[in-house]
A and B are shown apart, each in its own frame.
Chain A
Amino acid sequence: QQQVKQSPQSLIVQKGGISIINCAYENTAFDYFPWYQQFPGKGPALLIAIRPDVSEKKEGRFTISFNKSAKQFSLHIMDSQPGDSATYFCAATTSGTYKYIFGTGTRLKVLA
């Protein structure tokens, strides 16, 4: 019940294309869902986050779509760029603890 399942494991997208990464969770107590971007040898950096009171949040080229009834959320990267090539992790937690449960990660490669 504590798991967050993430797919796909890896993704190759052409420059300018849309990258879509999906996550699913079981624990209905989760109420904060961040996405982190991690480059090799670096720590995860917060990209965008959403709470379940909204179905979508957009920041620049990054959009989170949230489906509370299905317990699923996804990250969309519009106009993907080679600089977006990194590993992306979804995570879930309950408010205030930030004891994150992370997905297994998606390695994104954007071809120039």
Chain B
Amino acid sequence: DTGVSQDPRHKITKRGQNVTFRCDPISEHNRLYWYRQTLGQGPEFLTYFQNEAQLEKSRLLSDRFSAERPKGSFSTLEIQRTEQGDSAMYLCASSLQGASTEAFFGQGTRLTVV
């Protein structure tokens, strides 16, 4: 499968715990995006990387959230001191840099904070 891969698919955690998600983009894609989707809503942009550089962060990305893409390949999204409001689907997407390519989404990681 050469699509965007996310791991884990599901995560249940207790409030206050830290969690980390991984995204493996399509191999030749140099742009990587994180979105958050709550039930019944459209995905909301969180942040994006071009290669290893984090170019933009949404104000939705509080200080408890951090994302990395250390070698310009896979990316991790960490949430510290999780809260119940963090429960959502976390989606990763990737694309080639350029004006005429589209973004491809992974299957997402469903986070439930109890």
Contact = CB atoms under 8 A, between A and B. Distances in A.
A45 interface: yes
Interface centre among B35, B42, B43 (most CB of A within 10 A): B42
A95 B102 CA distance: 10
A99 B102 contact: no
Interface residues of A, number: 23
Interface centre among A34, A91, A97 (most CB of B within 10 A): A97
Nearest to A2: B45
Nearest to B105: A43
Size bracket of the B interface: 20 to 34
Majority-rule SS of A interface residues: loop
B78 to A, nearest CB: 20
Contact of B91 (A44, A91, A99, A101): A44
Contacts of A101: 45
Interface string B34-63: 010000111111001000000010000000
26 contacts: A34-B102, A41-B107, A43-B6, A43-B91, A43-B93, A43-B105, A43-B106, A43-B108, A44-B43, A44-B91, A45-B105, A46-B102, A49-B102, A89-B43, A96-B98, A97-B56, A98-B48, A98-B93, A98-B102, A98-B103, A99-B45, A99-B48, A100-B43, A100-B103, A103-B42, A104-B42
